Amino acid sequence: MSLLFRKNPGQSSTRARVSRDVAARLEANPFIKRAPAQGAQIYLFHNYLRDEDCDMLMGLIDSNRRPSTLLSASQDPEFRTSESCDLNRHADEVRPIDEGLAALLGVPPEHGETMQGQRYAPGQQFRAHCDYFHEGESYWPAMQAQGGQRTWTTMIYLNDVEEGGATWFPRAGIRIAPRRGTLLIWNNMLPDGSPNYDTLHEGMKVVSGTKYVITKWFRENPWVQGSFTSYYGNVRMT
Ligand SMILES: O=C(O)CCC(=O)C(=O)O
Ligand SMILES: [Fe+2]
């Protein structure tokens, strides 16, 4: 077989379609701006979330937080030092925000993982990582069985941070400072659906103040098992 026609490892037509469809939808939205990043599709929607919703989510994070975890153990004890909490998608106050993100991207809500809150006190961080799964790792079969690969990431900054706490994409060459209500969206895939290493990113150390964000990851297949009724009615989003 000619090398020219060899598939890129991880190439997938489903993921390629999701890459294309979601990007087209975001680019057609006048409130969303493409960030000046190299080699990655990164978007910003300022003032996406209302102040009262930011406050409500920060309250939930404060009362439910636990140490953040990693899928694979790191040699570095400082790799992810923040706290996290799961935000119940069925709770009346969470549901519109959770499903609103799926609707904005045009992805079926059942493809979304549980929305998570993250809290970083001064000195806390999440070192450089990619959100997509490494298909050679021991966790992959379990991930494959529930939703498969991560496609898009959405993240909302719930407050301004006095100093530090930017989200840095060292390969794409962009650093986003936390700003209350801003939604950051990026595609973890390349146009052919294979993982994009240029999405490597870091939640930089908070220097002063406390950083609160929510993160929500979308999968290529349904992550919620069983029947699912959407807040928007039982309507498919794509
Ligand atoms: O806190 C940040 O800026 C990044 C968070 C992040 O990368 C994640 O939760 O996967
Ligand atoms: Fe991340």
For residue 118, give the ligand nearest its CA.
Answer: 1
Ion ligand 2, residues whose Cβ is below 5 A away: 131
60 CA to centre of ligand 1 in angstroms: 18
pLDDT computed for residue 231 by the predictor: 65
Whether the per-residue pLDDT at 232 is higher than 70: the answer is no
101 CA distance to ligand 2 middle (Å): 17
Q: Pocket residues for ligand 1 (CB within 6 Å)? A: 118, 126, 131, 167, 201, 203, 213, 215
Q: pLDDT tens-digit profile of 73-121? A: 778 888 898 989 999 999 999 999 999 999 999 999 999 999 999 999 9
Per-residue confidence (pLDDT) for residue 20, from 0 to 100: 96
Instruction: Give which of 136, 112, 130 is closest to 202, Cα–Cα.
Output: 130
Smallest CA-to-CA distance from 181 within 92, 50, 81, 74 is with 50
**Could you tell me the distance, in angstroms and rounded to a whole number, from the CA of residue 43 to the centre of ligand 2?**
15
Ligand 1 centroid – CA 176 distance (Å): 11
Distance from C-alpha of 106 to C-alpha of 98, rounded to nearest angstrom: 13
Residue 238 has pLDDT above 80, yes or no: no
CA distance 116 to 55: 15
Mean pLDDT of the chain: 92
Q: Which of 132, 182, 213 to mutate to test the pocket of ligand 1 (most atoms within 8 A of CB)?
A: 213
As a whole number of angstroms, the distance between CA 207 and CA 165 comes to 7
ipTM here: 0.99
Question: Residue 153 Cα, ligand 1 centroid: separation in angstroms?
Answer: 10
Quote the strand ranges of 60-196, DSSP E. 66-67, 83-87, 115-120, 126-129, 150-157, 163-164, 167-169, 174-176, 183-187
Structural domains in the chain, CATH included, are 10-219 (2.60.120.620)
| Mutation probe of ligand 1 site: the residue of 201, 207, 214 with most atoms within 8 A of C-beta | 201
Q: For the segment 5-63, what is each residue's pLDDT rounded down to a tens digit? A: 556 667 889 999 999 999 999 999 999 999 999 999 999 999 999 999 999 999 999 99
Nearest CA to ligand 1 atom 9: 215
Distances from the Cα of 109 to the Cα of 18, 73, 95, 158, 234, angstroms: 14, 30, 10, 22, 10
Nearest residue by C-alpha to atom 8 in ligand 1: 215
Residue nearest to atom 1 of ligand 1 (CA): 203
Rounding to the nearest 10 degrees, give the CA dihedral for residues 23, 197, 193, 40.
Answer: 20
> If DSSP states are collapsed to H, E and C, what string results for 14-44?
HHHHHHHHHHHHHHCCCCCEECCCCCCCEEE
CA 44 to chain centre: 13
Confidence category of residue 229, pLDDT binned at 50, 70, 90:
confident
| Separation CA 130–CA 95 (nearest Å) | 27
Helix/strand/coil percentages in the chain, nearest 5:
25, 25, 50
Cα–Cα distance list, 39 to 57, 189, 213 (Å): 32, 11, 25
| Closest-lying ligand 1 atom to the alpha carbon of residue 176 | 3
Q: Which is nearest to 187 in space by CA: 197, 176, 179? A: 197
142: Cβ contacts below 8 Å, ≥ 6 apart: none
CB atoms within 10 A of CB 120: 26
- Secondary element (H or E) of residue 101: helix 95-105
Q: Measured on CA atoms in the order 38, 36, 165, 182, is the torsion positive or negative?
A: negative
| Residue 133 near residue 217 (C-beta atoms within 8 A) | no
